[in-house]
Amino acid sequence: MMTDLTFASLLSSRICHDLISPVGAINNGLEILEDESDAEMSEQAMGLIRNSAASASAKLQFMRRSFGMAGTVSEMVSLDEAKSLSLGLVGKGATQLDWQVGVQSLDKSIVKLLLNMILIGFEALPRGGTLRAGVQKAGATNLMISAEGPKARLQEQAITILRNGADLNMVEPREANMLFTYELAKSLGTTIHVSVGDETIEIAATI
């Protein structure tokens, strides 16, 4: 029980960390509106609020499907939905999503694994780049993520957790999704393969 509570606490801390920035920006924009009479500054504040609200909403929708229990316990999930969620996560920043998926739908748990792999790839691109998501199904289902861009990186501890899991006492909140991905893959009877090259990270799993 304590192990489950610790895992839940780590993942909750991770989610809260992701939402603090856009929610804080919304609050800042509202404070500017309260004190600002200049029309141009007010419009800039509204732009900040709109963009931050869109970012918070996109992250919440993505995490609801990737971490939570959205929908029924057992269901097939459209890959178009996964693409939409991933585009929302990436936003209009420096990272471009290259969606190479010809499969129409997959089991909910497999889509959850795919989304978690996409999240890891996205966060491995601190300066943007290309985030490529591929799914092939020919008997087995192959999930493939590559992150290519300047300073693309994945910490050694993160790689170790993805490959081998970890003792909860050794996991930081920022690494909680790595352990979640490992455990999810394990529950599907597979393992996560990670390859690190020159400004390229590749993550794959076969189910």
Provide the strand spans (E) within 5-104: 76-78, 95-101
Structure tokens at 172: 């930081």
Structural domains in the chain, sorted by start: 2-206 (3.30.565.10)
Residue type, 151: K
Identify the pLDDT of residue 2: 47
Of the candidates 139, 86, 148, the one whose C-alpha atom is nearest the C-alpha of residue 112 is 86
36 to 32, 41, 42, 44, 50: CA distances (angstroms): 6, 7, 6, 11, 17
Q: What is the pLDDT along the chain (207 residues), one digit of tens a residue?
A: 447 888 889 999 999 988 999 999 898 888 888 876 778 888 888 888 998 999 999 999 999 999 986 555 558 999 999 999 999 999 988 999 999 998 999 999 999 999 999 999 999 999 999 999 999 998 899 999 999 999 999 999 999 999 999 998 889 999 999 999 999 999 999 999 999 998 999 999 999
Q: Measured between alpha carbons, how far is 75 from 91 in angstroms, rounded to an integer?
A: 27
Tens digit of each residue's pLDDT (9 = 90 or more) over 112-171: 999 999 999 999 999 999 999 999 998 899 999 999 999 999 999 999 999 999 998 889
Q: Measured between alpha carbons, how far is 68 from 77 in angstroms, rounded to an integer?
A: 14
Q: pTM of the full predicted structure?
A: 0.90
